[in-house]
Structures are given as structure tokens and as C-alpha cells.
Structure 1
Amino acid sequence: MTSPTLDVFERHESAVRSYVRSFPDVFTTAKGHLVRSESGREYIDFFAGAGALNYGHNDDGMKAALLEYISGDGIAHALDMGTTAKARFLERFHEVLLAPRGLEHRVLFPGPTGTNAVETALKLARKVTGREKIVSFTNAFHGMTLGSLAVTGNSFKRGGAGLPLDNTVFMPFADFLDEGFDSLSYLERMLENGGSGMDLPAGVIVETVQGEGGINAASFGWLKRLNDLCARWDLPLIVDDIQAGCGRTGPFFSFEPAGIKPDIICLSKSLSGYGLPMALVLVRPDMDLFGPGEHNGTFRGNSMAFVTATEALRFWEDDTLTQDVLRKGEIVQEALEAMAAKHPDLKPDVRGRGLMRGLGLGAEGAANAVCAEAFKGGVIMETSGPASEVAKLLPPLTIPEAALRQGLDVMAKAVDTVAERIAKDQPAAA
């Protein structure tokens, strides 16, 4: 039975609303990996705010730090003025994350969303190189504003722009084409051949694991080769770590196991740790070329997000969380492989890395149906991919193992139900 409060959204909210349609309930409170509705029902969260709640809901440490800051009348809004909250964040971010990884990048604060970070990175790459076109990849998703949408592959999302989306060259991502096709050799051949029609671009933007594009994970070898190619051609490499970063795949930065140091790095989503809007762009020092005020934004000084983000850094003082994510990721991998093996008629394939995983289902509409059934069973999860063909899992990194397994059991039953339904709808063999 759905909540009568849902009628409020039907009467007053725009038709563009999306998640309330996928998860038809009215939520009131949340803690850790659990979300509760006004009816009192509990859901296991395999969605985590689309990756914005990697540490779960209402972490005690972050909540206490935030309440103390607010009760002390701490600065709430300051644009890019100096504040103690920002100073503490910058010092801790450098101490805990950048210095141990040998990253000398400067921290640029754009507007507080992922698409703001991407727009900033594209704009900066063009300023640094004096060139215009950006190389992006098939199935990429980088945001919904015009610049980031131009480097996004999804035709449905692009179609909402209402005007041409230019200055992008799309290349095959990792294993997008048949096995054996070398997408990076193809890119390099296009760059070096004067007859290819491809102008030297301003930079290359990539996700190490494509979140909205279908949980497509590039190999570390592919990423290393891309990094080397960019270095040879003097192309700034932009890694969009907005969804795959902040520990989602294990290490804080998803590109770390590839042994690369991107020129520009975009972060947002779980950066604040508490679901508060926050974004930053890490920039190689010699590329830090914006003049004062040349790029700005009214809400780039979200001090309350600085407070929770600083507290969230406690998770990265050692590799405990990284190892925990990798271990839980193997649990998810094994569970998804079991689902796939049980239902070959759904044309399944298991994708992802760490706690950014998905079950691709080739049977039309199956992934949507699995997520709907899982919701009925008390698990919140969404689909991914250009045709919503992947049932996607983004549980909080801190989810207890027992709860993770419980949620996977619900998902497995959902897959069973959908497989049975599809089998019944199939015509009998001649």
C-alpha cells in the first residue's frame, strides 16, 4: 500500500520527477544503511543517494561536528572568503589524501555539484591548451548542464538539451567494441594521421568505472595506457571521479591502482560525507591558470559541507575502509555471479569493481523489473545503462556484512521472480 502523502508530489511537483516514481514511498528518517518511511517500514539502502552517501546516513561523527558548528554560529556561507572551516578542510585533505599519494594538485572549489566540477575542468583544459574539442567516451555520463552534457554519451539525456552539443569527439570506451579491438590504438592513430579529420583536442575526460553508463569498468592497464597517450600528445587527462571516487571502488581515488596521476580530477557526491552539496577540482599546479574571479560560483563556499568533509577524512587515515570495501565487493561479486549462473536465459553479465557493481540483464525490461521487485522486498536500488539494462548496487561502504548479505538475498529473490515471469511470457517452442 502506497502512502497517501505521495499524492502531494503528483499534485504539485513537476513531471520531471524521477526517483519518487521508482521508489513510491515517503521517507522520513535514515541511519547507516537503513531508510524508514512514514509507515514505519525499513529499507536496506543499495542506492546511497546515487553514491552521495558512501558512509551511510547520518554518521555520528559528522552529525556531531555539524551540530557543534551550527550551534556555535559558524559561518554558513562565505563564497571563497577565508574561513576556519575551509582552512581545516584544506589542511586535512592535503595531509590525509594528497601528500601520501604524492599529489601536488591545487584545490579549486567550483559550484557544489558534480556537473559544476566537470564544467570547470573542461573550461580549464581549454584555457590551458588554447584548443576546443574534448575527447570523451561511449556511454560516458558527466552531468546535465550543457558543457558536461556535451561529453555525455546517453542519447536520452543529450536529447533534452534542445540545441547542438558540440566540441566533443567520442571514442570507444575500453571494451565497448568487440573483444580484440584496441580503442586506444585507434585513438592514437586518429591523432597522428593528418587525414583523420580530428583536430588536436583540449583534453580527454574519462570515468574509470562508468556509473550511469552501465557499470563499465576499464582495466587498470587500459587506464595506464590512456594516461601515457595523453602525456605523449600533451593532452590534459581529466578523471571524473565523482561517482567512482571517495572510496566507492576501494581506494579513495578510483584510479590509484592504475598507478597514474591525472592532470585534473573532479570530485563531488560523497565528498562532504553527509549528503551536503560540495565539489572540488584538483588541478596540477602548472595548470592552475584561472585569474582571481575568472571562474566562480555563489555556493562554492559551503562551510557546513567543509565541516562534515573534514570529519569524513577519518575514514582515510589508514587503509581499513579500503580493505573492507574490497572484501565486501567480493561478497557482492560472488552473489551476482550466482544469480547470473542460475538464470542464463536473462543473458546476464556481472560488472563493476569494489562496491560499485551491477548485474547486466539482456532480457528487455528485466533490470527495471528486478529493481521494482527488490523495492517491494525492502531494498532500494536503481538501474544503469543506456537502456536501463543493469541492476546497479551502490550500498554504503560502511554497511554491515550481515545487512549486505540480507539485501543480496532480497535481490536474488527479485531476479528469481522476474525470470519466472519472463519464462511464462515466452511462447512455447515449436
Structure 2
Amino acid sequence: MIRYADVVPSLARPLHNPGDLEILLDRADGAKVVLLGESTHGTHEFYAWRAALTRRLIEERGFSFVAVEGDWPDGERVNTAVRGDGPDPRHALVRYDRWPTWMWANEETVDFTRWLCEFNRGRAPDDRAGFHGLDVYSLWESMREILVWLREHDPERVPAALDAYRCFEPYHEDPNAYGWAAQGSLACADRVATMLGALRDGDFGVWQNAEVVAGAEGYYRSMVRGGPEAWNIRDRHMDATLDRLLRRYGPSSRAVVWAHNTHVGDSRATDQSQYGEVTLGRLARERFGPDRTVLVGFGTDHGTVVAGPSWGAPMEAMGVPAGRPGSLEEILLNAAPPAALFVFPSGGPRPDLLTTEVPHRAIGVVYRPERERWANYVPTVLGERYDAFLWFAETRALRPLHTLRVNFREPETYPSGV
């Protein structure tokens, strides 16, 4: 039996305040991109410490912008605010109205974006740090953004965009309806490609919205078939968007990314690779090189989290039970400080904890704690999936801007094995 208890103390550095992150900042010094994860989309400590690390990367190490697992139009409203060209960032964040709203419409993100707004104050426009969305879900909102901008600034290109928009109209903004209708045909793909070709050399924001529409069209068409294709379209879109942003900011630009561990981690170190899935973290290592990419995972053992019991259900603050036996969470609970930083050695011999596959919890926007004993875990080779890891034994739910239901039933009391 591998005795992880003898290994963990030698790797773990206690975390008390942002000053304890210095070794991770040093590791990020030569990086083009630093990807910061989370094992849930609803944990206060993940958002707060991710923000603390990002502040230091921007303020002390010259990183250029933050790119998040969120939609492009929503991100651009926040970007306008943090650059000082709009109202308080809270007004932009509270407008997040697509489920799951709490991912970005929360007080933790308000705190960070207000800091970013203050950081940018007085800086030259080209030297201000930005905030952008990488994701692919905003098909109809991106189409509307394109048409509004073109009608005001470039009316000659309206017909191509309007033709694509009208192709989607019969589906009443229902991605499932479009996905099923598109089986066996390209449906609106040709019209979207025509629009994208017409807009690629124009305004950057319009071009990016067109790329979102193209990505979303393929994503929704693939989603209903199942398999890895839809996942890969989404992560490849985020990778391409990140690259476009870096080019937009200039050759010396550097990015911080916020996304779930299942996107940030390298899929080759999990069972995702067995299913044919690629991840943003793997794609970043391939695009920029492993020496210029830092992947940081986050994890917790127990506490509370914001999630929904089913897709589209009202968000709740739910109880998170202790990690299952043999999991990374149980190992760290027993051997690591309550809050700890692990920065993995980049070369030489590695301890078994970093080279042996262990189950590692992943909680999405949908969470059913009663399934903890047989679901919610990703088999992980820790030292290959990430370059560093932040650990918090006990965590609490983040603070949404919208109405939150509270359900603190103990998951252990739920029926199991049925």
C-alpha cells in the first residue's frame, strides 16, 4: 500500500494569506498562460483565492487579462466596466441571466472586478487589464450583438448576418430544438460560415461574436448525438478564443484563465482521454508549450456549495459530504494542512502521490450529493493533470447576487444504493 501520509507533508505549504502564494507566482514567471481551476462552480474559497492569486499575477507579474468560462457578450459588459467605460461592474454581473447565473453573478466576482476597475483607473487604455468570456453558449445573444453593431457601424454587411439569424429563428432560441432538427444536415452551418467569412476582417468584438455563433452551431448540432464531439468543440473554441485574445493584446501579453478543473486540467492524465475528450489545459500545453503553461487545480473535502439538483433547477446551497474512501480528498484531509498549496516539481523523481491514479472529486452546476459513493469523481494522475494544487479541507457556498435556496440536509442521510 502506498503511504501517502509520508509524502503529503513534504509537498504541502500551509496557506494563511495571499503572501503564501509567492512560490506559485515564481513558477508562473515564464508562463504565457496560467489556468486556475475549481472542483465546483459554487465554492467561496475557490473564487476568493483564485481572485487573490490573479490580483498578484496582474499587479506584480504583468499579466494582461482574465478569461473565464463564461459567455462572450456577458464578459464584454464586465470588460467595459472594469476598463472604466461603464457603470459599477456589479451592474454588469447582475445581468447574467442564463442558468447557471451564480457562476459569475456572485459577490466574490463583484469584489474582484471592482478591484480590477480600481487597478485600471488612471492607466493608459492600452495598459488596462481586461475581463473576457471564452465559452460557446451565447448563440442567439451573439447574433443580436452582431446585428446591432452592424446596423449602426457597417450596414453593408448586415445581409449576411441577417440571413444566418433568420435561419435560427424557427427554433425560438431552443438549442435542443435546433440540435435535433439539424441531424442529418448542416442546417444553418453554411449561412454561419458565410457570415463568419464576411466579418472576420472587421471589428474584433463582432468577429468574436461570429466565432461564437459558429462554435455554438456546431456544438448544439453535436450535443444531441452524445459522445466527445460536442465537448471537444467547446474546449477547442475556448482555446482558439484565448489565442485570439492574446494576439489582440499584443506579442508580450499573458493571460489568466478561470474555469472548472475538468477544463483546466490536462485530459491525458484522466479518463477523459479514454473517452476521446481534449481539454483547454491540454490544448494550452500543446499551443504554448508546457514550460509556458501553468495548470492549477483546486479541491475540497467537505462543506457547502451552490449548485442545482437538476439542469435549470433553482440554485441551492447544498451540503458536500466528506470525500469517498481512497480519494484525493480523503488523502489530503488526513495528511495536509487545512489550507495548503502544492507546487509540483517540474523534473526529477516524483513521489507516488503525483504519479499514481486516484479518484478526484468534480462537482458541476448540477450536483446530487447522494451519488457521492459512485459518481462525481475523475480518475486523476495528479502531477500530470496539474502543475500546482490549492487545497481547502472545509469550504462554504459562494454568495450569489440572485435569490438562493438553502438546503443543508446532510447528504449521508439520503438513501443509497438505489
Tell me the TM-score normalized by structure 2.
Answer: 0.27
Tell me the TM-score normalized by structure 1.
Answer: 0.26
The one of the two structures with greater contact order (alpha-carbon pairs below 8 A, sep at least 6) is 2
